[in-house]
Chains A and B, each alone.
Chain A
Amino acid sequence: MDRPPLIAMAEGFDIDHLAKLARLNLTAEEKALYSSQLNQILGHFQTLAKADLPETIDLARVVSESALRSDEPGPVLGAEAVTRIAPASRDGQISVPRVVDDEA
């Protein structure tokens, strides 16, 4: 009753918008399949909408020992190790398609 977003979900699932946010290209078949499956899964999630839940979120770790460490430099992977696993590199640096247009 006071939770319209869950109801709104069932009425329309903007798969194109989601795919864009997630940086995924989907074929027409994939869009149809995922829309149907996600709607089914989200339908199951309706139990969450109906549940009587606490207002506050208490997710402090179950074991409360502090794990903060001192902020000191430690070993890191060198440029050689990093560029060896990169898809493309040049002169010890990772290369990517041109980001800024010449005309800009």
Chain B
Amino acid sequence: MADALHTLSAAELGRRLSAGLLTSRTLCEALIARYHLVNKKVGAFTHLDEADVLAQAEASDARRKAGEGRGPLEGIPVAIKDNIAVKGQPLTCSSKMLASLVSPYDAHVTERLRAAGAILYGRLNMDEFAMGSSTENSAIQKTFNPWDLACIPGGSSGGSAAALAAGLVPLALGSDTGGSIRQPASHCGVVGLKPTYGLISRFGLVAFASSLDQIGPMARCIEDCELLLRALASADARDMTCFGPSDRAFTPAGDAKKLRIGIPKGFLGKGVGAEVATAVTAAIEFYRSQGCAISEVELPSADLAVPTYYVVATAEASSNLGRYDGVRYGHRSASAGTPVEMMTNSRSEGFGAEVKRRILLGTFVLSAGYADAYYMRALRARSKIRAEYLAALATVDVLLTPTVPTPAFKVGEKASDPLQLYLEDIFTIPANLAGLPAISVPCGKSGHLPVGFHLVGAPLSEAKLLAAGRLFEAAHGFAHQQAAL
């Protein structure tokens, strides 16, 4: 069974497709069979149009046969988080608000995947509007951690991480506003990368907090993560924060054994689980043994990151989600006499509890009399955090910490304590506040649950993050482990 198609990397599948040892149709049929076997247990996908997948696969096989293959992703299935638009497919954001929405257009990343010959393979569950760290905020279904079905997969890209760990698909797209790619990747034992802000177009990504949101690749190994990242990054005039030609991010990183690795002071201390600390310390020692220079760095404003993030992100969310008014698309309340009643009733019926909580918080921090004390102070704190990270990254190549302080918790365990859940994001948030690239790499287990370490680099240092991850992965082989389902 070691050779079963669902266990192989995208890169290996691509090699077999190129060599004529495999067709995309055969691959997709195998993954659809896997879907019927395990998706009910894991709950990663919310939608899969099998006929459409097989039609795409046949078209890919025909292109390849005609000598018109489009590159390394030709015929490879990529599953997509349900907040990224694919024309003709549902775009629900796992919300009742958009339950019946079918996207009338493609996101830029979707166009890129089509141009690369990839198979657009189904819709993945998520926390409603990407707000959450456990995927428990989905209005559609629960998603469970393939390594322990009683535990959460992380979030908000929990469907993406769980689908990869369950062998449902070789590649997935996630989105990351405060850790939503990296935190579930850590909890499910897969690789997740949040690119430099602006490397990948956000056109067609449903907006949560626009100054923080990035789409990114998720995969079971570093090689696949890089393959997908390269396909996604390109200029797009429809997102004015997307800066285009991205060669800098892929400049060869040189010898990974010469990387200078900074360990932020105190980050392995309070609140970090013992087994997480052990696994991450072992990763640090591995890099030291390879010849990397390990040094301690100071990030004095680290404690400000969570409050700063939750002020900025909720402020932007309260503004972005103002568009859900029941007028142009999405849910419209049946009981609406006046336009204001229509808006208020539609929003009250369509949004779930966490989304309402964040809209209220964001409305408050922007409201008259409080905006200076909260929102403007948060922007000043954001400036300070960013300056500290950029200064630290002028002396080292990457900063290494755990991705999440503790392993995945039981479904329902923290559902009534939003602040506890917000603190899950403590290590991942600064990269979003500073616009920096960051990756989570599997590095061990706490009991039977995966643990990941987190690397942050300077702007456009994706190649260094991937090189560091590759060095670790090659020596440890976590990428080849699969959850038993």
Contacts and interface: CB of A to CB of B under 8 A. Distances in A.
Interface SS of B by simple majority: helix
A40 B419 contact: yes
Nearest to B382: A59
Interface of A: 3, 5-6, 9, 13, 15, 18-19, 21-26, 30, 34, 37-38, 40-42, 44-45, 47-49, 51, 53-59, 61-63, 65-69, 77, 81-82, 84-88, 94, 96-99
A56 B102 contact: no
Contact of B301 (A25, A51, A55): A51
Interface in B300-345: 301, 303-304, 306-308, 310-311, 318, 325-332, 336-345
B48 interface: no
What does DSSP make chain A's interface, helix, strand, loop or mixed? loop
B68 interface: no
A48 B310 CA distance: 11
16 contacts: A22-B360, A24-B359, A45-B374, A47-B303, A48-B307, A48-B381, A58-B387, A59-B386, A61-B241, A67-B198, A67-B237, A69-B237, A85-B328, A87-B326, A87-B327, A96-B342
Contacts of B303: 47
Contacts of B105: 77, 81
A85 B373 contact: no
Contact of A96 (B306, B327, B359, B374): B327
Interface of B: 101-102, 104-105, 196-199, 211, 237, 239-244, 301, 303-304, 306-308, 310-311, 318, 325-332, 336-345, 347-348, 351, 356-357, 359-361, 363-364, 367, 369-370, 372-374, 376-384, 386-387, 390, 418-419, 422, 434-436, 459-460
Contacts of B329: 85-87
A87 B347 contact: no
Contacts of A51: 301, 304, 377, 381, 384
A99 B255 CA distance: 66
Contacts of B325: 23
Given A55-B380, A86-B328, A23 B347 contact: yes
A42 B367 CA distance: 14
B39 to A, nearest CB: 27
Contact of B373 (A3, A63, A98): A3
Which 8 residue pairs spanning A and B have beta carbons closest together?
Answer: A87-B332, A5-B373, A65-B243, A69-B237, A62-B435, A53-B380, A25-B348, A62-B459
A64 to B, nearest CB: 8
